[in-house]
């Protein structure tokens, strides 16, 4: 009998935003295969485990998915409890389908432990609900990143609030496409870099401003767009009083 593999969501970054179940399993793990976005503080929860970095970052040298799958299978044949630790939630833009297929085909027992996805953490950090009665009844999470065999630019979802993962420069193109489709130029946009971490940055702008460009980021970027993100009255007053749109 081989070991069991857990696909665990680490959440957006802050150590105390992982679930209790996730933290408990990390403390029991023999091996932890972790993404590049998993923070050193998160790995402090598994001091006893063999830690293996298998990160994939856009535009950087990355670990091939096939090799990650093989490592999960190899370690599960030698150890009882293997954790595949992923930023955010494993089931959203986390390549979980490929990993689950590999484990299931090999007959390896697997369980998924959800995590807080960055969109929800970003909404909390900015105090901007993604839905609002009478304003936003639908939300779409999407990314412009595609597999090589699907190189065409994906359509912009037709929802009230849009949240673009791995935004960065791709969000500039999204903003222009939304303007071309008739979205208002003053549609609120909130950009969150390094969500929930000590170096978190929040930028508030409009769709037309975003279409003109975005400064380079040094960490993962999430872009939220829609009327639900318009500042409430006291938020706008506080923003004007401090004289800044970018906060850390």
Query: What CATH number does the domain containing 39 carry?
Result: 3.40.1010.10
**What is the reported pLDDT for 246?**
45
Q: Are residues 69 and 14 in the same domain?
A: yes
Which member of 42, 72, 166, 178 is catalytic?
166
pTM value is 0.88
Q: Which of 4, 51, 56, 132 is catalytic?
A: 56
Q: Are 95 and 84 in contact (CB under 8 A)?
A: no
101 with 139, same domain: the answer is no
* Biggest CA-to-CA distance, the chain: 64
Judge contact between 212 and 173, C-beta under 8 A.
no
Note whether 151 and 58 are same-domain residues. Answer: no
The reported pLDDT for the residue numbered 152 is: 60
Q: How many Å from the N-terminal Cα to the C-terminal Cα in the chain?
A: 49
Name the catalytic one among 35, 72, 89, 178.
35
User: How far is the C-alpha of 115 from the C-alpha of 163, rounded, in Å?
Assistant: 17
CA 235, 240, 246, 248 torsion: positive or negative?
negative
Identify the CA nearest to 85 among candidates 40, 33, 156: 33
Q: Which burial class, exposed, middle or buried, applies to 23 when counting CB atoms under 10 A from its CB (0-12, 13-18, 19+)?
A: middle
Nearest to 83 by CA among 166, 18, 16, 12: 18
- How many structural domains comprise the chain? 2
Q: For residue 165, list its beta bridge partners.
A: 143
| Residues 88 and 149 reside in one and the same domain | no
**Does 125 share its domain with 102?**
no
Query: What are the backbone angles phi and psi of residue 152, rounded to the nearest 5°?
Result: -65, 145
Does 165 share its domain with 227?
yes
Task: Identify whether residues 159 and 104 lie together within a single domain.
Answer: no
The answer to whether residues 49 and 83 touch, using CB atoms and an 8 Å cutoff, is: yes
Which of 66, 84, 113 finishes a domain? 113
Residue closest to 171 by CA, chosen among 162, 184, 160, 181: 162
Grouping H, G, I as helix, E, B as strand and the rest as coil, residue 24 is: helix
Active site residue 35: yes
Nearest to 176 by CA among 166, 165, 189: 189
Domain that holds residue 210: 118-247
CATH assignment of the domain containing 211: 3.30.950.10
**CB-CB contact of 244 with 204 (8 Å):** no
Active site residue 42: no
Instruction: Give the model's pLDDT for residue 146.
Output: 55
* Distance (Å, whole) CA 174 – CA 207: 9
Same-domain check for residues 27 and 148: no
- The parts of the chain modelled with pLDDT lower than 70 are 1, 56-62, 145-154, 237-248
Which 8-state DSSP code applies to residue 135? T
- Does 84 share its domain with 128? no
End of a domain among 113, 138, 168?
113
What residue spans of the chain are helical by DSSP H? 20-28, 40-43, 65-76, 96-105, 118-126, 168-180, 207-211, 233-242
Residue 56 annotated in active site: yes
Same domain, residue pair 147 and 198: yes
Q: Tell me: do 180 and 215 sit in the same domain.
A: yes
End of a domain among 78, 113, 148?
A: 113
Task: Based on the fold, state whether residues 109 and 40 are members of the same structural domain.
Answer: yes
């Amino acid at each position: 009998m081989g070991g069991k593999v857990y696909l665990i969501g680490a959440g957006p970054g802050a150590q105390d935003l992982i679930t209790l179940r996730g933290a408990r399993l990390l403390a029991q793990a023999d091996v932890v295969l972790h993404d590049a976005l998993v923070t050193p503080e998160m790995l402090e929860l598994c001091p006893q485990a063999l830690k293996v970095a298998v990160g994939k970052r856009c535009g950087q040298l990355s670990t091939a998915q096939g090799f990650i799958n093989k490592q999960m299978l190899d370690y599960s044949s030698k150890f009882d409890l293997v954790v595949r630790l992923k930023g955010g939630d494993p089931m959203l833009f986390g390549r979980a389908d490929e990993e689950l297929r590999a484990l299931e085909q090999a007959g390896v027992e697997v369980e998924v432990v959800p995590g807080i996805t960055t969109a929800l953490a970003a909404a909390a950090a900015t105090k901007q609900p993604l839905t609002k009665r009478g304003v936003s009844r639908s939300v779409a999470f999407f990314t412009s990143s595609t597999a090589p065999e699907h190189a065409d630019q994906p359509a912009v979802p037709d929802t009230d609030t849009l949240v673009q993962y791995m935004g960065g420069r791709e969000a500039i193109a999204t903003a222009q496409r939304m303007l071309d489709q008739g979205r208002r130029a003053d549609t609120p946009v909130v950009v969150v870099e390094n969500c929930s971490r000590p170096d978190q940055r929040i930028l508030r702008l409009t769709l037309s401003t975003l279409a003109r460009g975005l400064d380079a980021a040094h960490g993962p970027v999430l872009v939220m767009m829609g009327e639900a993100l318009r500042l409430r009255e006291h938020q706008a007053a506080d923003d004007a009083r401090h004289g800044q749109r970018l906060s850390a």
